[in-house]
Structure 1
Amino acid sequence: MPFVVSTEANLPDDIRRERLYAGTVFCMPPRDSIRALADFALEMVSRAFDGRDPMTAHQDMPVEDYVGVLAALKPAFTHHRRCKELLREILADLGADISMTYFDVPKLRVVPTASYLSSGLGYNYAAHRDTWYASPDCQNNWWVPVAGNAADKGMQFHPDFWGRPVDNSSADFDAYEWNRTSRRDAAKYVTHDPRPHPKAAAGMEGSAVRVVGEPGSILSFSGAQLHSTVPNETDTARISFDFRTLHVDDLVAHAGPVNVDSRSTGTSVRDYLCADTFAPLPDDIVAMYDGNGSADGVLVFDPAVLEVN
């Protein structure tokens, strides 16, 4: 089917999810609820760089110092109570039933020039589906540009493989092993990144389509969409955040696109919190997805291991 991008912003949530599972990518215009979290993110980034312009800080900072800033900043944003509260407001504003919708805590991305940093905390994602990271087929992805987003340093989709298998390394990914080592060790990698990020085989990603929204807009797309980072070859950084959601009814029904090529093990669903109460998913629903994960791994990542003293 052709690659479909919709700017419809006020669809009922069940209709949006149905179309998302059929391959539609939504690029919704800016709204106040999204700007609120984008502004909060930019405030945290600016404060973390302590007087330096975060868009150009990489031009005169040693990369090790830059990574040190990100090592403290990224988990501070992700696990900040205010981020969860603002995320709940976004979902309610977009028409989601917050008692039935669960979210993974938002991830902050600060992407400087690729030749300066493209590993570890500045990892440039090769073509991948989020389902290769042991995510359920019904995962909804959300991506928000905060500053510096442009076609030459944003993200891109690879629509040739929507609903079609592509050779990939997802069989090497186990969610519980990832929690045990790889998430903890990201800040160690500056010039290379040996972590087992699942990716499409080299040269197999097909065509690329870049969808660019202005700050405060939001992209909504299926976790089964093949997508990647556009390596930043400009002089300035790109700042964005992203998060993921699941609807309980979809989880129970095993809704979503057909899994055509993911062979990852374990599950990410323990990471999700109810948008209303911030409670985790019930154990009986988690058990529906908890298959073949590493017995020596970690079921739920502890952000305390990332604390910078």
Structure 2
Amino acid sequence: MSEEFGISIRKDAFLIKTFIYLFLIMGAVTMALPYLWMFVTSIKPLDEIQSFPPSLLVKHPTLAPYKDLFTMVPMGRYLFNSLFVAGVITVFNVFATSLAGYAFAKHDFWGRDKIFFIFLASLMIPWQVNIIPGFVIVKKLGWLNTYSGLIIPAMAWCAFGIFLNRQFIYSIPNDLIDAARIDGCGEFRIYYLVILPLLQPVHAPLSIFTFLQQWNNFVWPLVITHTSSMRTIPLGLAVLTGQFGANYAMVMAGAVVATLPMLIVYLMFQKYIIKGIALTGLKG
């Protein structure tokens, strides 16, 4: 009787696992199909794109849309602007939020919990509220259509990073910090030699989230830039769609160029994202 019961349990577990895998495979195919269609369209001649019924097969592949993309549109400049802006913001936010997280987690000072609560409360403020006052401030500072206007205001959007770092640093034993103080280390040296090397599970997902957010940022660059040389990738794609909307292959080539780097980075570091999110909620 017990043997039959055990076989029944194993069958049920197998069926449940099979259903879960089938559901996940269907979800993966559903999400991957638009990317596949986008790439296939970007290497199709115009007559194949307009053929009916549409097909994923490419009879005469061509790289002409990619060549036109970089010759007719300053896509290289758009890529550089996005990489530079997103990279600087990411490096600064990772450094600054880890320092702030260390202070909030391991140091007692007046108003610590109240200040941290204010940071958390700022996450509930819609980002659209900051557009008009942000534009006024940037204009008065003379930062319109400059890298300073694109980068410096975004450096202040770091509440989420402070929260992640604080939650993880709580799990670091105080004995490590006390041992470093006994050895004569100052606070910044403790942060650099003890805390910072342990924050890799947090910095990996935080870097990716910050970089993706700034890479896809459309509204703020649209508000403060007005020349082609300062446009980022999202603005470049909007211009591409407006000027060459009938050239479907070229538009799709631009979308591939804009999304492929982020897709590669995500696939390479997805395990760090999952690990970081799991660990940052353990204490606090």
Task: Settle same-fold status: TM greater than 0.5.
Answer: no
TM-score (norm 2): 0.22
Look at both structures and tell me which one has the larger radius of gyration over its CA atoms: 2
Larger relative strand fraction: 1
Larger relative helix fraction: 2
